[in-house]
Amino acid sequence: MHEGNGRERREDERRRVSFEAWWEGLSGRHESRVADISMGGCFIDTTGVAEVGELVVFAIKKPSGAWLQLRGEVVSVDPNVGFSVSYTFLTDEEQQELKLLGTI
């Protein structure tokens, strides 16, 4: 579902990445990976279960080893693979951190 086909609804370009991550939602806390990232959202590879519309907290491990914690809403789910998140609010600092992550 997160493959480009020229007809995506996204406004922000997504870049393929592979960052260690964790997320926490109604089903608890789960280890995961971020598979692609943009300024509007990201795709979280996980076996944990999330529902469309659910609000989650998640963190991405930056190359420096520090964690960038963010908040988002689940906008689509690919069962047994993961889900897409749209950021619900970004501070200026978080936006700068995301720009750096997207260029690595």
Question: Which of 15, 18, 2, 20 is closest to 68 using CA atoms?
Answer: 20
On whether residue 84 sits in a domain, the answer given is: yes
Kindly report, residue by residue over 2-19, the tens digit of the pLDDT: 433 333 444 678 889 999
Domain membership flag for residue 2 = no
Tell which wins on pLDDT, 1 or 79: 79
In a domain, 78, yes or no: yes
Domain count, the chain: 1
Which comes out higher in pLDDT, residue 71 or 2? 71
Three-state DSSP class for 30? strand
Tell whether the model's pLDDT for residue 104 goes beyond 80: no
Please name the residue that has the structure tokens 């995506």: 8
pTM above 0.75, yes or no: yes
Residue 83 belongs to domain with CATH number: 2.40.10.220
Residues 6+ apart with CB under 8 A from 14: 2, 4, 36, 37, 38, 42, 43
Distance separating alpha carbons of residues 10 and 20, to the nearest angstrom: 23
Mean pLDDT of 23-48: 95
Q: What is the mean pLDDT of the chain?
A: 88
User: What range defines the domain where residue 24 resides?
Assistant: 16-102
